[in-house]
Amino acid sequence: MIEVFYSRDRFSGVKMGASFLRLALAAAVFLPVVAFAQAWFQYSSSLDYFRIHTPGDFEIEEIEYSSEYGAVFPARVYSFGSGRNHYSVTVVDYTDSKAIHAARTNRTEADYLSLYWEIDIRASVAYAAANLRNRGGQITYDAYHYIDRVEGHQLQITNTDQSRSYAAIYLHESRLYIVEATVAPGLPPPGMFQQSLEFIDEAGQKIRYRDFSDATKVSGAPIRGVEQRNSE
Q: What is the pLDDT along the chain (232 residues), one digit of tens a residue?
A: 443 434 444 333 333 344 444 444 444 444 443 444 468 999 999 999 999 999 999 999 999 999 999 899 999 999 999 999 999 999 999 999 999 998 988 877 666 767 889 999 999 999 999 999 999 999 999 999 999 999 999 999 999 999 999 999 999 999 999 999 999 999 999 988 989 999 999 999 999 999 999 999 999 887 765 454 444 4
Instruction: State pTM to two decimals.
Output: 0.80
Burial class (CB in 10 A: 0-12, 13-18, 19+), 215: buried
Closest CA relative to residue 28, chosen from 39, 36, 20: 36
Q: Contact at 8 Å (CB) between 76 and 62? A: yes
Ordered domains of the chain (ranges, CATH): 8-231 (3.40.1000.10)
Pairwise CA distance, residues 89 & 167, whole Å: 10
Q: pLDDT at position 38, please?
A: 60
Q: Give the type of residue at 36.
A: F
Q: pLDDT at position 228, please?
A: 47
SS3 labels along 95-139: CCHHHHHHCCCCCCCCCCHHHHHHHHHHCHHHHHHHHHHCCCCEE
* 36 strand-pairing partners: none
Q: Contact at 8 Å (CB) between 133 and 122? A: no
Q: pLDDT at position 37, please?
A: 43
Helix axes 113-122, 124-133, angle to 10 degrees: 50
The alpha carbon of 173 is separated from its chain's Cα centroid by a whole number of angstroms, namely 13
Which alpha helices (H) appear in the chain, and where do they start and end?
A: 18-30, 33-36, 97-102, 113-122, 124-133, 191-195, 225-231
Pairwise CA distance, residues 25 & 20, whole Å: 9
Q: Report helix, strand and coil shares of the chain as percent, to nearest 5.
A: 25, 35, 40
For the chain, how many helices (H) and strands (E)?
Answer: 7, 11
Pairwise CA distance, residues 212 & 175, whole Å: 17
Q: pLDDT at position 31, please?
A: 46
